[in-house]
Structure 1
Amino acid sequence: MEKILVTGATGNVGRHVVTQLAEAGLDVRALVRDPERARLPERVEVVRGDLMAPETVEPALHGVDSVFLLWPGHPTGPAAGVVAAAARHARRIVYVSAYDPAEGATGDVTENAAPTLFHHEVERLIRHSGLSWTFLRVSGFAVNTLGWADQVRKGVVRWPFGDAARALIHERDIAAVAVHALTSAGHGGATYKISGPGLLTQAEQVRVIGEVVGREVRWEEQPAEEARAALLPVWGDAGFVDAALRGWASFVTRPEEVTDTVEKLLGRPALTFRQWAEEHADDFR
């Protein structure tokens, strides 16, 4: 039986990938920073490693056939070492990437596309690695709205671009598509755009969350410059913050793309944002 290495195995997506693979009876090795705190299914092999330190990842790749990779963000420098190590041991990699409104028909990205630029840099490394690869270019993650939880509890979410329309995807759907690509044939060299099943503006997302938790929650438009000032000390990279704000602003006039890829690959509709909110209601209470 082939062995599958799951990186980021305790993260929002990785944990679902591990669970779904284990439930299917597959041989799973989970890469985590702290095995003692991992709390993963008993039959899963848990090993210590950190993507920011490629030398800690190589031992976890011994005997591995396939790799699930979701790069944690900046910096991308260590990605070269991780991808090279994967190519020395595995034959296949499934990478969770991203797409954005600046992406053209060929999949190229403009200089201003940015938080997706680091994803496309990792894609470039993988394309030239010799591995059989599958890229999942994913829309906005529904789970990122947990960042509003404290504001939801107070009844007002103050954030910029309330009219930005997103096709948010449930992390469980991302995992299910990744598992499908890891365990079935015909996905080598494929780039799949995956999204939730429909569009909701950010203000509508807040309304749905309020309905699910039984609390009236009001959207309050925040000036972009005020949001920038708040995000800079948290993210620490002005270019990244500015690119994110440009991306969110673009969704006001050019909504995020809705695809039916999840349904085509899995044979069922993608989970809705309301379904996601119902599953995470306690996180907002």
Structure 2
Amino acid sequence: MISFPLESVKRCRRCSMPELPEVETIRRSLEREVVGKEIVGLELRRPGLLQDATLEELEERAVGARISGIRRRAKYLIFDLDNGHSLIFHLGLEGLFLLKEEATEAVHLILKFAGGMRLYFDDIKGYGRLFLSPTDRVEELPGLAKLGLEPFTSSYRWESFKKLMRTNQEIKRLLLDQAKIAGVGNIYASEVLYRCRVHPRQLANELTLSEARCLFDEIQKIMEEAIAQRGTSVYHYRDIDGSKGEFQKFLKVYGKAGEPCERCGAPIQEIDQGGRGTFFCARCQPLKSPAKHDIMEDLFA
């Protein structure tokens, strides 16, 4: 699992790590542009991007190969090559793939394709990661092997989700735990909790069955909506052509501290949870006493 130093997160409270909808948007764009193309060269400008391998190994496996497919696993992008190897990228806090180089020092990798096309990995914060793996062993990488339930996959089932609620962990922290639910980040966690009228500090095992079911349903629903809008560009995120997403226009609480709640008019509040800003409406999302035992029996059944 990719982890980031707490201090880097605290310094970057106004950063937004690409979440599942943003990574899926990038995947679809890359699929259109680079699948079938041959890598004829590469330039690694930040050696720290490449993990557990040398530049020579990267060149040996990538140069001369064609990209046969682009997959996504939670927040990871997987470039499958036609020689049985794969390049696995984690975008870090603000990593981007771009078709045109920008006048910055943030380009850490350039993939050069036959015909002159280039793909730039731009990472202004420097927390992106690149791994190499045989294609048939990608899922064995530690970061991928430990991922939890993922929306839009067979692992995302109500019975499995319900079991995750058997903990006294704050629900917002649980939603961000990639070992439990993969692909959810700070933006969509805040928005889903608002939709379901759940306080971000409510303990998971204090939720009612209907609240837990709402979260299960709305996680996938909001991601579908965000993908349809090509992601959320609150801060740095852009698609490979440099265009911004549009889902920020539909956010109800994230980044709106002090603004009136659309439902009740009370000011949106921001609190700190693990160095990350959490946005919510205290009136619509009150911190409640634990649910009655008979309801919780249903949840734990």
Relative to the length of structure 2, the TM-score reads: 0.24
Relative to the length of structure 1, the TM-score reads: 0.25
More helix by share: 1
Kindly name which structure, 1 or 2, has the bigger radius of gyration based on alpha carbons.
2
